[in-house]
């Protein structure tokens, strides 16, 4: 049946993390691999009430077809949530998505033709790479450091492309607590990235799933908020976020804030893709947001994640000799980006780690093009401090074996 | 920003029905336009219990990320539901989708390269056309009649394409109670279509959202069931269905049964598209299917739709002089496909109808390529018999004006 398969499917690989987890399938495996929120932190009681409230009064709108851009009251609530982060989003600019993964996909489909260039920080979010490969885009990496993507590098790459007659269409960036690197782009860099985008007519897709998960340091205004001060930047900034990390991934509710020219195209694409996000999930999310429980719940998540990040760092120091592994101290988010000595192959090591009963994600899959082999991503959020310590002990035994 | 928009977006139009409904926006408008299930028939009590049951015991799996192909127990329940219709589906062949619209989109993305040919019955489902246009496919129509797509015509079209060195990749077909025509393909035609597909290496995408809504006549085995008897046909038959018409559209839960070569590609595409369908909605659907309420609920829908179809036909006879409008007597589904005298422009008439307080969908948007102007689709399911009669009275006054 090979002749019936689309060309775009030939280069797309299934998610490395999902495949390793499936292959491992051991119930006693301790996972530092996934980006799964801690299940014991779900606000089950609050979500139970929010779901029940759907059936108070007239339940029909939560069961019937709904508008493609999402329930109007939910869009208003999500605009308010976005604006608390320093943006100035209007409900009409919002599209409710079936999770933020869909947001990346919808923008890619509305914007990218095969062969178009997408710029990505090196390293970058795996599932975004998967979307852009499915869109048959050409992926071009821009180096970053502990402060995220480097604007000088961005400018250099764009100009190098221009010298070859090529013009990139968009830049994908997780500006706060990037996945996998954990880095946060400082405000000055955000402004410079936006200025470069305006200068070169580049769409900036700002993916912001983690910014509420800050447990230390000061919040940085999202790029969509800063774009207002820079002539032409708002037209070129698309913002997306999700309720997955702050309420529950199972709702599959995310949202985008889009400039008008892109909004109309994304709505058409979404209509063809799945008509609209589940109205049951939308009404549940709306009821939860209205219940007033979210701020307190996020405080609890932050506190737990801070404790777990500290526990992981303490365990790494306890079980590993100095110098074997270095890492960036996270200020929030879900991930610790760690590095072994240059030349160490963390991809080969993951098999030994699994044999020892622990799993993490090697750094290689987060890079398009050539990749350093000695990095890894450790998620600290899914398991408790005690389990983290046992996992790090197992990891150390695999490393020191 | 034109230069940032993908080429595929240039030809895609928003759904005609959705746009007309949005433009009309009159609360007193009687709609025969939408394909919306009757809200007063939703099994609200059953769905309330199914949702509540999610929170009995361990709610975490209904709130956490889940497998891309869907919850294993739900896949087993959907396989059983499919097999009651005469198929032989295994849970591993199933992908749970975010509604059946997504099923069409996922198959299109896994199979179609720009310029590939998709065969469609004339007339055909609007939103499928939208997906195939988004995939930049070439749409080729095959004439049908009151028994659905004509296999002789199908063979003729495929051979005519072959003579030009072209080979179509897939055929999209709603075999039972087609939208908009209401026609059902008899078993003999289904077998011939499958034989032609095998002969020419054509993927058959069987979309089956309505078959449970039969209120008269005998069920016909779905093509995926008949494919087992025809050498090579199972490999070339993809089946999709949905809970939207039998439980509630708001769940956004559909499913596909796919041959292995296509299953793996669709799962990768879905992973990039939205990771997985809402686990909250999946668990709610599973609980509802397990409650045993579905068969009785479908009986109630069937009875109500039968009554409404009869009411619409009686009202058309009551309010319109003989010969003004002819229609096919539906055996099930949601639509009555009606025709005025050749040359009448039902697209122009729709504006007069809206002015009179009633709306329907003109036939033209259901055709790709040249389209007859005198057909229309009347949905009889969303409103009660009394409202149907008033709607038809308004329609008649617009026609006879």
Q: What confidence score (pLDDT) does residue A14 get?
A: 65
ipTM of the complex: 0.94
CB contacts of B238 in chain A (<8 Å) are none
How deeply is A339 buried, as exposed, middle or buried, from its count of CB atoms within 10 A (0-12, 13-18, 19+)? middle
Q: Does B109 touch chain A (CB under 8 A)?
A: yes
How deeply is A160 buried, as exposed, middle or buried, from its count of CB atoms within 10 A (0-12, 13-18, 19+)? exposed
- The pairing of strands B237-242 and A254-257 is unpaired
Pick the closest to residue A172 from A217, A205, A208 (CA basis): A205
Residue A142 host element (H or E): strand A138-145
Q: Does A355 touch chain B (CB under 8 A)?
A: no
Closest CB to B280: pick one of A114, A265, A284.
A284
Dist CA B220 CA B208 (whole Å) = 12
Pick the closest to residue A339 from A388, A377, A392 (CA basis): A377
Structural domains of chain A sorted by starting position, each given as residue range(s) with its CATH number in brackets: 2-43+296-400 (3.90.1150.10), 59-291 (3.40.640.10)
CB B17, CB B361: distance < 8 Å = yes
Residues 225-264 of B with CB under 8 A from A: 235-236, 244, 248-252, 259, 261-262
**Nearest chain B alpha carbon to A66:** B250
CB A278, CB B251: distance < 8 Å = yes
Q: Say whether B240 sits in a helix, a strand or coil.
A: strand
Cα–Cα separations (whole angstroms), residue A210 to A180, A182, A222, B124, B154 = 12, 10, 11, 43, 52
Pick the closest to residue B46 from B276, B243, B208 (CA basis): B243
**Nearest chain A alpha carbon to B99:** A274
Give the model confidence (pLDDT) of A258-288 as tens digits: 999 999 999 999 999 999 999 999 999 999 9
Residues 6+ away with beta carbon under 8 Å from A23: none
Residues paired with A336 in a beta bridge = A378
Dist CA B142 CA B157 (whole Å) = 7
Instruction: Identify the sign of the CA torsion B212, B214, B218, B224.
Output: negative
Closest CB to B7: pick one of A55, A113, A275.
A113
Residues 6+ away with beta carbon under 8 Å from B226: B187, B190, B191, B194, B233
CB B274, CB A100: distance < 8 Å = no
CB B75, CB B230: distance < 8 Å = no
Q: What confidence score (pLDDT) does residue A10 get?
A: 75
Closest CB to A5: pick one of B5, B105, B111.
B111
Closest CB to B60: pick one of A42, A61, A105.
A42
Q: What confidence score (pLDDT) does residue B34 get?
A: 82
Q: Say whether B8 sits in a helix, a strand or coil.
A: helix
Q: What confidence score (pLDDT) does residue A20 get?
A: 66
CB A112, CB A135: distance < 8 Å = yes
**B279 and A113 in contact by Cβ < 8 A?**
no
First to last CA, chain A: 46
Residues paired with B241 in a beta bridge = B255
**Nearest chain B alpha carbon to A57:** B44
How does DSSP classify residue A224? H
Q: What confidence score (pLDDT) does residue A2 get?
A: 80
**A272 and B130 in contact by Cβ < 8 A?**
yes
Q: Does A19 touch chain B (CB under 8 A)?
A: no
Here the tokens at position A137 are 């885009």
For A104, list phi and psi in degrees, rounded to 5.
-60, -45
Residues 6+ away with beta carbon under 8 Å from B178: B121, B124, B125, B144, B148, B184, B333
Cα–Cα separations (whole angstroms), residue A201 to A172, A194, A197, B181 = 14, 10, 6, 47
Closest CB to B272: pick one of A59, A66, A130.
A130
CB contacts of A127 in chain B (<8 Å) are 271-272, 275
Residues paired with B239 in a beta bridge = B206, B257
CA angle A202, A208, A213 (to 5 degrees): 155
Dist CA A135 CA A108 (whole Å) = 7
Q: What are the helix (H) ranges across A320-364?
A: 346-356
Model confidence, pTM:
0.95
Q: Does B52 touch chain A (CB under 8 A)?
A: yes
E-only strand ranges, A291-374: 326-327, 335-339, 358-359, 361-362
Give the model confidence (pLDDT) of A46-56 as tens digits: 999 999 999 99
From the centroid of its chain, how far is CA B372?
21
How does DSSP classify residue B36? P
DSSP B93-107: GEEEESSHHHHHHHH
Closest CB to A265: pick one of B9, B36, B259.
B9
**A55 and B44 in contact by Cβ < 8 A?**
yes
Q: What are the helix (H) ranges across B9-98?
A: 16-24, 44-54, 72-84
User: What is the nearest CA distance from B101 to chain A, expressed in angstroms?
Assistant: 5
- The pairing of strands B326-327 and B148-149 is unpaired
**Nearest chain A alpha carbon to B105:** A273
Q: Does A17 touch chain B (CB under 8 A)?
A: no
Under the phi-then-psi rule, with left for phi > 0, alpha for psi from -120 to 50, and beta for the rest, what region is A201? Answer: left
Under the phi-then-psi rule, with left for phi > 0, alpha for psi from -120 to 50, and beta for the rest, what region is A292? Answer: left
DSSP B278-297: -HHHHHHHHHHHHHT-HHHH
Give the model confidence (pLDDT) of A60-107 as tens digits: 999 999 999 999 999 999 999 999 999 999 999 999 999 999 999 999
Pick the closest to residue B256 from B91, B62, B19, B58 (CA basis): B91
Q: What confidence score (pLDDT) does residue B3 get?
A: 87
Residues 273-292 of A with CB under 8 A from B: 273-281, 284
How deeply is A323 buried, as exposed, middle or buried, from its count of CB atoms within 10 A (0-12, 13-18, 19+)? exposed
Residue A287: half-sphere exposure toward Cβ, Cα within 13 Å: 21
Interface mutation target, options A18, A250, A263, chain B, most CBs of B under 10 Å: A250
Residue A355: half-sphere exposure toward Cβ, Cα within 13 Å: 9
Residues 6+ away with beta carbon under 8 Å from A264: none
Residues 6+ away with beta carbon under 8 Å from B104: B127, B128, B131, B172, B205, B207, B240
Per-residue pLDDT of chain A (401 residues; tens, 9 = 90+): 788 999 888 766 666 666 666 666 667 899 999 889 999 999 999 999 999 999 998 999 999 999 999 999 999 999 999 999 999 999 999 999 999 999 999 999 999 999 999 999 999 998 899 999 999 999 999 999 999 999 999 999 999 999 999 999 999 999 999 999 999 999 999 999 999 999 999 999 999 999 999 999 999 999 999 999 999 999 999 999 999 999 999 999 999 999 999 999 999 999 999 999 999 999 999 999 999 999 999 999 999 999 999 999 999 999 999 999 999 899 999 999 999 999 999 999 998 999 999 999 999 989 888 899 999 999 999 999 999 999 999 999 999 87
Q: Say whether A373 sits in a helix, a strand or coil.
A: coil
Pick the closest to residue A289 from A257, A246, A337, A328 (CA basis): A246
CB A314, CB A80: distance < 8 Å = no
How does DSSP classify residue B373? S
Q: Does B56 touch chain A (CB under 8 A)?
A: no
**B110 and A9 in contact by Cβ < 8 A?**
yes
How deeply is B149 buried, as exposed, middle or buried, from its count of CB atoms within 10 A (0-12, 13-18, 19+)? buried
Interface mutation target, options B273, B276, B297, B382, chain A, most CBs of A under 10 Å: B273
Residues paired with A339 in a beta bridge = A326, A375
Dist CA B69 CA B95 (whole Å) = 4
**B101 and A275 in contact by Cβ < 8 A?**
yes
Pick the closest to residue A250 from B98, B80, B50, B78 (CA basis): B98
Residues 6+ away with beta carbon under 8 Å from B315: B388, B389, B391, B392, B393
pLDDT along chain B (401 residues), means of 10: 85 65 72 90 97 93 95 98 96 96 97 96 92 94 94 98 96 96 96 98 97 96 97 98 97 97 95 95 98 97 97 97 93 96 93 92 89 95 95 95 79
């Amino acid at each position: 049946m090979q002749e019936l398969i689309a060309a775009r499917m030939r280069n797309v690989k299934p998610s490395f993390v999902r495949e390793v987890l499936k292959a491992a399938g051991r119930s006693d495996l301790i996972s530092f691999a996934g980006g799964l929120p801690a299940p014991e932190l779900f606000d089950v009681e609050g979500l139970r009430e929010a779901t029940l409230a759907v059936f108070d009064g007239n339940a029909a709108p939560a069961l019937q077809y709904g508008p493609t851009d999402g329930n109007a009251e939910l869009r208003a609530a999500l605009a308010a949530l976005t604006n608390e982060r320093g943006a100035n989003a209007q409900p009409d600019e919002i599209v409710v998505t079936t999770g933020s993964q869909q947001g990346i996909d919808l923008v890619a489909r509305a914007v990218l033709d095969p062969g178009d260039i997408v710029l990505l920080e090196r390293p970058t979010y795996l599932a975004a790479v998967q979307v852009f490969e499915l869109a048959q885009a050409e992926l071009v990496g821009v180096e970053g450091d502990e402060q995220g993507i480097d604007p000088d590098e961005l400018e250099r790459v764009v100009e190098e492309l221009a010298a070859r007659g090529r013009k990139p269409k968009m830049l994908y960036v997780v500006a706060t607590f990037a996945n996998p690197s954990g880095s946060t782009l400082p405000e000055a860099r955000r402004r410079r990235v936006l200025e470069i985008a305006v200068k070169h007519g580049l769409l900036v897709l700002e993916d912001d799933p983690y910014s509420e998960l800050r447990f230390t340091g000061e919040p940085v205004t999202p790029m969509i908020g800063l774009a207002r001060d820079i002539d032409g930047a708002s037209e070129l900034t698309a913002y997306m976020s999700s309720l997955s990390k702050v309420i529950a991934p199972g709702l599959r509710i995310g949202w985008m804030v889009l400039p008008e020219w892109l909004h109309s195209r994304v709505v058409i694409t979404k209509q063809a893709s799945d008509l609209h996000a589940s109205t049951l999930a939308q009404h549940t999310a709306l009821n939860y947001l209205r219940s007033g429980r979210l701020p307190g719940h996020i405080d609890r998540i932050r506190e737990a994640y801070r404790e777990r990040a500290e526990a992981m760092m303490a365990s790494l120091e306890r079980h590993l000799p100095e110098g074997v592994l270095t890492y960036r101290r996270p200020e929030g988010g879900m991930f610790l980006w760690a590095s072994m000595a240059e030349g160490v192959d963390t991809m080969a090591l993951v098999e030994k780690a699994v044999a020892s009963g622990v799993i993490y994600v090697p750094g290689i899959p987060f890079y398009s093009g050539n990749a350093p082999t000695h990095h890894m991503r450790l998620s600290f959020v899914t398991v408790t401090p005690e389990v983290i310590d046992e996992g790090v002990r197992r990891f150390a035994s695999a490393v020191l074996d």
